[in-house]
Structure 1
Amino acid sequence: MAKRRRKRRGFRLFFLLMLLAGLLAIKWAGTVSLVADPGAGGTLTGAGWYFPGAKITVAARPQAGWEFVGWTVRGETVSETPEYTFTVAGKIELKAQFRPLDLYAMEALARGRGSVAVSAQQVVRGEVVVFTAQPEPGYRFAYWEEDGEFVSAEAVYSFAAQAPRNLRAVFVPEEYRVDLEVEGDGEVVETWSLEPARVTLKAVPREGYEFFGWVDMDTEQEIETEAVLSFAWKGGRRLMARFRPQLVHVDGDSLMAVASKQTTIGQYAPDDLVYLPADYSSGKARLRREAAEALDKMYRAALADGVKLYVVSAYRDYQKQTNLFYRYAKEDGIFEAERYSARPGQSEHQLGTTVDFGGTSTGLTEAFFHTPQGQWLYNNAHKFGFALSYPKGSEEITGYIFEPWHYRYIGVELAREWKESGLTLVEFLIKKNQAF
């Protein structure tokens, strides 16, 4: 009897010890709770009770139309990956953040005769979409547009979706063409309206370049200097869009100013112009005072040598150069005019330090070089501060033909240095002028 009582007491003690151990385990175990935010965003695995020190992995799986954003604890992000591994230190609640996927509608339409296709009508953000255009016989694909704006000239156009897109392929009759040439670094965007047929061309320079004119290649006339050219289509037309490196603005007051096809002095006008004497000019020609005084000395030195100099052109303002240049362009075409006449803002005459000599039977031709005046100037002008701007054989460097009558005042010291250098004047000034 006593033996049975001892067994019952032992069983009770064992049961109490086990109960105590269980309670202690519950107290010290880590509860890992998982919450989806919002609840419809996805499913979670890995919640439960774990002993401290246990290394566990929880996982989030987004539902269709949702994407996982990150795991947070009390509002702080602890992981941005769907699977998160950590060591249990105690009770913790992890919240899985989800958001709806950005779904974008894609629509392809056509204007004119042709077919279009899109790789998917609904895509998620970042997904690559391909639009394809196929013209019918007798038509050609011109471009894709959206809300009336040019998008691409590629018949197969692809991009990563970042918003809903509604693209329209424009097809035009095969004969609706403008033959385009591009000079320099840029491109031309071509758009059409069909009833009536009208084309709009937009010149788009690349970085570091600027647009400076449309040329009708049949007449070689510059027809527009604005980047956008629009006209009714009445048959084939050959046009050139011209781009050049962005012009460098220089100070026209400096005797070392670089006046070239790569620079501009804008509408600069000197404030110290004086009239040249009627002895060797028309009496209406003007130069800056310093240049005029040097010219007077040179005239008298040449006269002492039996050579009579005569100035046929000196300072020209911006407007006069504009009129002169475009008159020449109308007579000879823009490309030929650019060989012997400067565009406004690029002429050395606008500096007020440059003269054209004449008064001989040769006129302003290469033959002037072989006249007494031409020879005397070539050998002596630098002694008085004048430099020959456009020597023979330098057109590729200067951009202008040989002009043996065209001299620019740069000062005696610089002119002597220029003469000894063997460089063209523009090369010499670029080398000397650190601001260029």
Structure 2
Amino acid sequence: MNRVVITGMGALTPIGNNLSSFQDALIAGKSGAAPITRFDASKFKTRFACELKDFDISQFVDKSEARRNDLFTQYALVAVAEAIQNANIDFEKLNRNKIGVIWGSGNGGIGTFEEQVTEYATGDGTPRFNPFFIPKMIVDIASGVISIKYGLRGINYTTVSACATSNTAMIDAFNYIRWGKADMIITGGSEAPITRTGIGGFNAAKALSTNNEEAAKASRPFDVTRDGFVMGEGAGALILESYDHAVKRGANIIAEVVGGGMAADAYHLTGTHPEGEGAYLGMQAALEDAEIQPSDIQYLNVHATSTPVGDISELIAVERLFGNAPNLHISATKSMTGHLLGAAGAIEAIACVTAIQKGLVPPTINTENVEPAYADKMNFVIKEAKPLDIQYAMSNTFGFGGHIATAIFKKI
């Protein structure tokens, strides 16, 4: 089978609007949480989120393109354009029949849906829906728009596995390339869920933090005072291609994808298995796929959303698989970015590759008092980045419905 490498990345996040600014903020331990500006949240239980900062879509997407696309697709286009530039790709010189797009989003055009249905419900009953309503809303449209924009005629579809979505997309891309079904695949995920329905719905599910007084510090994975996740938005894009294809076109190879594991908790609609059964199986499957041992992993970017139950179940799974592993360093970058839902896996894949490139484990910020049962058992990187030669990094993502996806990256 083909080796699969990463040759380009693009990031649009609450702590940085491009790859370099995201990487700098990640290592510096910057929080992206602040009061919501997108709508009047004064009557909501949660009044803060990790929004994009000082971001003007008109600098990247023209007005007609913006009108045709929901924010989640616009975010995808921005991140993908950066990844393509970062990978120094000239599609005119490549076989576009063998280049695909596998993109992920958990909610798709939730903002468009909210806007259109609200306008209808508050009107006189006459249906005056925008002709772009359906194509803007459907979750698969971002992958289609990306392929159309760049004339890519290879494999094209969207994965949806809630907050495991973009890890699932990336693992699928990894598999298709190593099976020889594609030379290159643009993969990743995007999400634009900071809407009245997004915040209100997750509030109703009791998933979000309500620490409105300390918004910047609300995402505190593993801390005994954590009370829920902080919503984030944005996109992450990665260019995956076969090693031979990358070498042939003279690409700068950033890292290698060596394993992917998927599993299910098979337990609860929104809650994780209390013993972390799915998380354990997913990580184990990824290690088997990569043909390495738990002791080979130096850095684990945990899913850790800062929920009371979810964080503990993941740590139970980590302890079960890795045991007493003093060389395993753990951090939760959602403490900075918030939870980008379907885009989380892509952003955290970029965090893992950044850690490998820079030889620095990004920190978990805001966490003051780690759960006592694990404080002395595991090597948490807290508050400040830690220098470390990383050969292998693992990234966990879990989603509502019990979806599990774990990816492993290797230093090239």
Report the TM range for the smaller structure's normalisation.
under 0.3
If each structure's helix is expressed as a fraction of its own residues, which one has the higher value?
A: 2
Relative to the length of structure 2, the TM-score reads 0.26
If each structure's strand is expressed as a fraction of its own residues, which one has the higher value?
A: 1
Larger Rg: 1
